[in-house]
């Protein structure tokens, strides 16, 4: 978040306790998932752990899409 303008960061963190902010900024990214470009690693990992393709689709976003369609029709 170092690249984020201060005013945006201030709004994003409004209402978050100092201890929770410290936890957020001190947490290291998960190895193999340092950025959104590594989502395929999550998909592969779910398949390797025995999740069915339909379940992986739902986990990776189809549940959100279904919710949005139901709420904003």
Within a domain: 58 = yes
Within a domain: 19 = yes
Q: How far apart are CA 62 and CA 64, in angstroms?
A: 5
Within a domain: 20 = yes
Within a domain: 1 = no
What does the pLDDT read at residue 56? 93
Domain total in the chain: 1
Within a domain: 29 = yes
Quick: pLDDT tens for 6-49. 788 788 888 889 898 888 888 888 887 888 898 898 899 999 99
**First CA to last CA distance, the chain:** 35
Domain region containing 43 = 6-71
The H-assigned helical ranges of the chain are 6-13, 18-26, 39-48, 53-57, 63-71
Q: The pTM is what?
A: 0.52
Q: How confident is the model at residue 51 (pLDDT cuts 50, 70, 90)?
A: very high
Tokens representing residue 28 in the block = 């290291």
């Amino acid at each position: 978040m170092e690249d984020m303008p201060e005013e945006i960061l201030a709004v994003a963190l409004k209402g978050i306790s100092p201890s929770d902010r410290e936890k957020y900024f001190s947490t290291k990214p998960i190895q193999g998932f340092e950025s959104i470009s590594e989502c395929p690693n999550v998909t592969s990992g779910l398949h390797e752990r025995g999740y069915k393709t339909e379940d992986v689709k739902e986990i990776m976003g189809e549940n959100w899409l279904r919710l949005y369609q139901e709420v904003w029709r």
